[in-house]
Each structure stands twice: as C-alpha cells, then as structure tokens.
Amino acid sequence: MLRLSDVNVKFGKTPVLRDVSMTLPAGQTLAVVGESGAGKSTLIATILGLTKLDKGLITWANVPIKACRPSLVMQEPRAAFNPVLSLRRSILEPLSAKREVISETRLGQLCDRLELPLEMLDRKPREVSIGQAQRAGILRALIAGSPLILFDEPLSALDAVTQKHTAQLIADLQTELGFAALIVTHDLGYAAAFSDDIAVLREGRIEELTPTPAFVQNPQSDYGQELRAAAFALGALEYVA
Amino acid sequence: MRSVGFLVSALVALAVLGPMLAPHDPTAINIAARLSPPSGEWWLGTDAFGRDILSRLLHGARWSLGLAFVISLIGLIIGTVAGLTAALGGKAVDWAVMRVTDSFLAFPELVAAVVIAGILGGGINSLILALSLTSWMRYARVARGVGLSLRTRGYVVQAKLAGLSPLAIARWHYLPSLLPSLIVVWTGMFARAILGISALGFLGFGVQPPMAEWGTMLLDARIHMRAAPLLMIWPGLAVVACVLAINLVGDVLRDALAEKDSPQ
Amino acid sequence: MTRSLLGLFLRAFVVLTGTALATFTLLWNAPGDPALAIAMARFDAVVPADVIDLVRAEAGLDAGFWAAFRGWVVPLISGNFGNSSVTGRPVWPDLASATSYTVPLALAGLAIGLAISIPLAVLATRHPGSWLDRFAVGIASLGAAIPAYWLGLLLILLFAVKLAWLPAMGATTPSHVILPALTLGLGVAAALTRIIRSGILEARGQPFMPALKRRGISEHALAREHVGPHAAIPVITVFGLELAFLLEGAVMVEVIFGRPGLGSFLVGAIEARDFPKVQGVVILAALLFVGINLVIDVIYRLIDPRMGTQNA
C-alpha cells in the first residue's frame, strides 16, 4: 500500500504541496484530479523521489518508497524516449541498470499483450505513432516490475479513439498483473470510469478522497461539486453516472 | 554539405599526404641556393639556409593540422567531462567547476598559453599542454548548458528512474544530444589551435627549429623581410587558408544544426 | 540586486585567487632549479653551490610552497609586486611603464575597430543578403582567419619597407603607434562586424518589431528606440571578449613592432626566467580583465535585471 503522510513540498518559499495525506492499496487505482497548477506534477515527482520533501513521509508496504522504485508513464509519449536510441534499448533500460536480462519469448508475450509487433522495438521513437509510443512507455513501466506505476496524464497526447483503447488496456493489464496505479489527470470522465478512488487536489491540498462511485453521485467538497458539474456540462460523465 | 566534405578531405589529405608530396627534404641545408626566388627547381623559393619553402610548408601542415587536431581533441574531452560534471553533479559541484572554468577564462587564452609554454620550455609536449589547458572552457560551457537543458527531458528522467548510473546516463543520453554542438565548437577551437601553434612558434615557444612549422618559418622569414619578402607571405597564407577553410566548415555545420533544431 | 552584486564580487575574488594559485603552481613546478636560474641570470657565469643556496634563501624558495605563495600574495594585496629576480629592482615601476605603452595601443586598436565595424555592420544590414552585406561578412571572415602577427608583418612590409611612410620598430614617436594600432584594430573590426551585424538582425527579428512598424513608427525612431538597446547587450558581451583579444593581440603586436609594452615585458621575462616579473604581468592582466568584466556584469544587471537569475 502506498501511503503519503503529511507531505509538504516547497519551491523556495512557495508551498506547492500542503499536508498531503492519502493511501492507495496494492492493486488498486487512485485518480488524482485537479486543474493545472494544482500540484499534480509535483506530487508525482515527489513520490518518484525527484523532488525533496520538506516534511512528511512516503512509504510503500510500510518501508520508504525508494525501495519500491515506482515506474512512470509520461504525458508526452515520444519525449519519454531518447530520439537517437531504439525503443528496445530504452524499454530494457530498467533491466540493464540492474544487469538483468529478459528472455525474448517473455518480451514477445508482453509486446503481444500491448499490441506492439516485436520488430517495432527496433525503431526510433519518431518512427512509430504516438499511440504506439505510449504503449511502449507502458511496456517499459511493466518491465521494471514495480508494484506501483504512476501515470502522468497518460491519455492527453492521444486522439479520442486511441485514448479509449489505451485506458481500457491499462485497466486490463492492471487486472492481469496486479500493480497499483496512481493516475494523475484533469479528465474527470477518465478518472470516473477507471479508478477505485478519486482524490481532488487544489492549490497543493487534498480537498477530498472519495470512493469513485460515491464521488460521481455526490462529491464531499465544494470544489469537487464544481468539478463534477463542469464535467457533466461537457458530457464527460454521462456514460458513467 | 558537399563543400564541407570536400574541404575536410582536402585538409586531411594535406596533413596526411603533404609530407609525401614534398619535392625536397625540408631540413636539407643548401647554402649555395640560399634565398632563391621561386623557380622550376624551387617552386616557392628557398629560405636563408637554402631549404625548399614548398617542402617545408607541406611538412609544416602535419604540425599545424595534426597538432591542432590533437590539442582540440584534448580540449574537447576535458571540457565535456567538466561541463557534464557541472550539469549532473548538483549545485555545489556546478559552482566549483564553473568557477574553475571562469578562472581559466579570466585570462586571454593565448597569453596563458605563452606563459605555460614559455615556462615549461619549448617543445611539442609543452606546446600541447599549454594550448589544450587553455582551450577546454568553451566546450565546458556548451556541455553544461546543453546538459542542464537535458536534465528535465523525459528520457533522462526515465533513465534516472530506471536506476542507470550517472556515467551511463551521461554516455547514452547526454553525449548523443551534445555531440552536434560540441562539433561546432570543435571546428572553432581547431582553427584557434592552428593560430595558437603558429603564434607560439613565432614567439619561439612552440615547435623548435629545424623542424618546419608555419609559425617558426615566419619567425625566420621576418629577419629577411627586406631581402626576400615572399618568404613571409607563404607560411601566413597557409595559416589563413587552413583557418578560413575550417571556419567555413564550422559555419555550414552550425547553420545545419540551427535548421535541425528549429521547430518543424 | 545587492545579493547578486555580492555574488559577482565573490566570483571575481575566487577567480583572481584561482589565477594567482595556478600561476604560482606553474612557476613553482617549472623545470630546472629556479635558484640556479636566478643565480645564472644575475652573475652570468658558473656559480658556486653556496651562492645558489644564498639566492634560494633570499628568494624565499627554501620555505615550501605555501609559505612562498604567502610571501608573494600578502605583499601583493598592498600593491607590492616584489623584486625582479634578475636585476633585484622592484617589478612595479617597469610594469607600470609597460602598461603605459599597452593601454594607449589597446584603446587605439579598439577605436579603429569600432570606427570600421559599426558603419560596416549598419550598411550591411540595410539590405541583408545584398552584395554589400556579403562583402562585409566575407571581409569579416577573412579578418578572423588572419593572425595578428602576420597582418602586422604585412603592414610593416607595405608601409615601412616598400612605401617607407611609417616607422615600424620601437615606440619613440607618436606615429610609431599607427601600424600596431592598425594591426590590432583590423582584427577587432573583423570580430565586431560579425557580432554587431547579427545583433542588429536579431533585434529586427524580435516579434514586436513588425507590430511597431505597423503602428507607423518611423524606421529611424525604431532603430534608435528599439534596435539599438537590443543590439547593445551582445555588443557589451563582445566588449568583454574583445578585451581578451586586445590583450592577446597586444602581446603579439608589441613583439612584432618591438614596442616596450606588456607583451614584450612578458616575453622578455619568460625568456630571462624572471619569475616575479612573469607573476606580476599575469596578475595585472587578470586584475584588468576580471575588473572590466565585473563592470560589464554590473552594467548587464542594470540594463536587464533578469540576467541575475539566468546567470546563477
């Protein structure tokens, strides 16, 4: 279980995260929603250990998060890959860092599951579609074998059809492989359809953390209400509610 | 780009094949033929010792171009290591490395090279040391600048998360993106090294006589300026031609790089 | 602002200390016995061992690196450059006299460089890509490839040897400064023309320029109010860089023209292995250089306060 207790992060004197506490049980999905500037990216960077905490504690299974080495799927699928290296090199990086290898059959199986032809791994990031690049990004996260994967706006660079497909793929993989997913998104429709819990982040504070079905019916915070109303107005929540 | 290929191969050919094409021994003294004007036998004339100028120029190409290559390469390595260390090593390391870089930049490069080469005594080793110690700073600044801009790139973050060592990250993720900019700096420093070698030679702190080097040839020629003004023209022309060619290559490469970097 | 200025001074201090330390380390590790070198230079003969030891003690060479370094730096802070190890006379008067030859030469070179490059760059950028522009760029590229010492020799050959219009060697009359200054100035002009030209072109390409033009602001007012200040920052940067070029150029040019300036002083001191003199020139040059760059950095921050944060 991922647990954040009283996490505070400051940039200089400006507080970016204030007293953030939340939990994400193993194998489950937590969606963190909020507008840009709410501190979503900082939250991810902090969980990954890229940004220092001013105060607080982050643990996985009651040990400091560092030991769990969470993986990250990024918003810009192509930027996540070195433009001059093959996808294969980048995807296998978590293993080569640990001096481990993966059998070609296992890699082939994973590729199949992600609908990536194995030979596509020998291409450069520019030579595949954005959707394929994003699936390659998910593949890299899976290969690292971490029980926790963070998704930073995983759909926002994709077109509508690919979005739906990729969202479903992530959910299916999660059921099959059992990793916990923390999805940061501004798309409440996505959050509502694919998460177990929704956390609302605003100006660095957690406004509420509610089980998803309850949130869709009736958010507890005023800001949550606002978000829900806006999503309904756009038609993003209709098919869930 | 084709002109670049042509110029580069011409320079390489000059450095590699030059000495073989020399019609005479560049150090063979022939007092009877001293200060001969250009003729069928001596195409560009002879110097005060009766040595063939053309042969000396062709042999000098190996010093000027070959040493400049070595010097600019050493500078490239020192500078890249320093710049990447600064970019990757955190705030304190960055500050320290950049202050060392500033200290070296705080002094006109050629003057520093004159002091170092002069104090260590003439000779090729001190020449290389003097010029490469004073020519790594630009690489360091470029490497640091590009390095800092790469630090937040997605793939660098991913490599860090994957647990790759800083050395491996530098090798696989920084160096390839850095190389084009470094090569542009390198052409500029190559040209500067040619100028530096001949300047030190001219001051008597560089390649030592009787070896043929363009700067030392100028030093010799200066004494006979009145009697044989042409002696002074040739080595200077050789330096200018090489530097011009290399700068041209650098300009073309820089433009090509700027085009590649601009948003499509 | 105060903090960033304090940072600048700290940086200048660190750089100067670094330069002093590097110079001293180089001289301390110079090949050969420095005491023997001093004794030979002073007595010009075979010197007995006890005299060498005496010289060693007198020059503070037996005290160890840090003691010797302190022995040089501490008096230096109060302006005492020490004594020549060859003549035994104080270094400063000779150094000051050399400086009084180099500074006018450098200023004259800079003036010539500006007088050529500014009009040339302005004319060239009137119609970018025109024959005049190409000519200016071509001349500038050629100028950047010609080493100062060769240009100096060519000028001597033409004006002193062939035409006999101007004196070449020495510094006895005011007309002696013309050829050296011209040599320096042409080199400066080559570098400045390119930079001023691209500075003007870049300022014109700023996104707000077409808008200002559409609002009917005259070409002239645009140049004065907007292009000028925008081109000023790179020009100030170049001043810092040109300073290095001027100093480098002065060293070579003074040697060629036999002018008794800092360049000849330095080369002479190195050849005589007169280390206190070498240290003196190096520190003086570093002081000049760091000092002027400090002034430039302060000007930067006055023109554009953002520079402070970018340059951290």
Cβ(C92)–Cβ(C79) below 8 Å:
yes
The answer to whether residue C170 sits within a structural domain is yes
The C-alpha atoms of residue C97 and residue B213 are separated, in whole angstroms, by: 34
Read off the pTM.
Answer: 0.80
- Nearest Cα of chain B lies from the Cα of A97 at a distance, in angstroms, of 5
Partner residue facing C15 (CB), from B99, B110, B198: B99
SS3 content of chain C, % helix, strand, coil (to 5): 80, 0, 20
> Which residues are within 8 A (CB) of C209 and not within 5 positions of it... i.e. 6 or more apart?
C203, C222, C226, C227
Helix or strand (DSSP H, E) at A168: helix A160-177
CB B117 within 8 A of CB B198: no
pLDDT tens-digit profile of C193-236? 888 888 778 777 666 666 666 666 666 666 666 666 666 666 67
Q: Which residues of A touch B155 (CB under 8 A)?
A: 79-82, 90
Mean pLDDT, range C35-39, rounded to an integer: 73
Share of chain A above pLDDT 70, in %: 98
Name the token pair of C82. 């020490």
Angle made by CA atoms B191, B195, B213, in degrees to the nearest 5: 115
Question: Shortest CB distance from A80 goes to which of B158, B165, B177?
Answer: B158
Residue B88 has pLDDT above 60, yes or no: yes
**Percent of chain C having pLDDT more than 70?**
80
**Is B175's pLDDT higher than 80?**
yes
DSSP H or E run through A152: strand A148-152
Domain identity same for C103 and C12: no
Residues in Cβ contact with B241 at an 8 Å cutoff, skipping those fewer than 6 apart: none
Q: Do B162 and A94 touch (CB under 8 A)?
A: yes
| Residue A29 placed within a domain | yes
- Segment holding A24, helix H or strand E: strand A14-24
Domain ranges of chain B: 45-261
Do C235 and C159 share a structural domain?
yes
> Are C219 and C102 within one domain?
yes
- Kindly report the number of other CB atoms within 10 A of residue C206's CB atom: 13
pLDDT digits (tens, 9 = 90+) for B1-53: 677 777 778 777 777 777 777 777 777 777 776 777 777 777 777 777 777 77
Neighbours of A93 (CB within 10 A): 27
Q: Which of B155, B160, B168 sits opposite A80 (nearest CB)?
A: B155
Cβ of B102: how many Cβ atoms within 10 Å? Answer: 19
Cβ separation B163–A81 shorter than 8 A: no
Write the residue in C141, C147, C251 that is nearest to B198 by C-beta: C147
> Look-up: residue for tokens 């040619």?
B194
Contact of A67 with chain B, judged by CB distance below 8 Å, is answered with no
- Which pLDDT does position C308 carry in this prediction? 43
Question: Is position A10 within any domain?
Answer: yes
Whether B263 contacts chain A with CB within 8 A:
no
Subunits with 3+ Cβ pairs within 8 Å of A are B
Range of the domain at C8: 2-77
Residue A213's CATH number: 3.40.50.300
Split into its structural domains, chain A has a count of: 2
Q: What is the pLDDT of residue B207?
A: 79
Q: Which of C153, C262, C277 has the highest number of chain B CBs within 10 A, making it the mutation to test binding with B?
A: C153
How far apart (Å, rounded) are the C-alpha atoms in residues B239 and B198?
Answer: 8
Answer whether residue C309 is part of any domain.
no
Whether B159 and chain A come into contact, CB under 8 Å, resolves to yes
Which residues touch B232 (CB under 8 Å, ≥6 apart)? B218, B221, B222, B225, C150, C153, C154, C157
Element (H, E) at A210: strand A205-211
Q: Domain for residue C301, yes or no?
A: no
Residue C192 and residue C263 in one domain = yes
Over residues A3-53, the pLDDT tens digits come to 999 999 988 888 899 999 999 999 999 999 988 888 888 999 999 988 888
CB-based contact B161 A80, cutoff 8 Å: no
Q: Which domain holds residue A16?
A: 1-62+150-156+171-236
Domain match, A100 and A130 both: yes
Q: Which residues of B touch C149 (CB under 8 A)?
A: 199, 202, 218
Q: Is residue A3 part of a domain?
A: yes
Which positions in chain C touch B120 (Cβ < 8 Å)? Answer: 26, 30-31
- Same-domain status, A183 and A231: yes
| Domain B45-261 architecture | Orthogonal Bundle (1.10)
Q: What is the sign of the dihedral through the CA atoms of C266, C269, C275 and C280?
A: negative
Q: Are C155 and C208 in a shared domain?
A: yes
Q: What is the ipTM of this complex?
A: 0.87
Check residue C312 and give its pLDDT.
33
Count up the domains in chain C and report the number: 2
What CATH code is carried by the domain that includes residue C190?
Answer: 1.10.3720.10
Give the chain B residue whose CA is nearest to the CA of C14. Answer: B99
Which pLDDT score is estimated for A137?
Answer: 93
Helix, strand or coil for residue C35? Answer: helix
Smallest CA–CA separation between A214 and chain B, in Å? 35
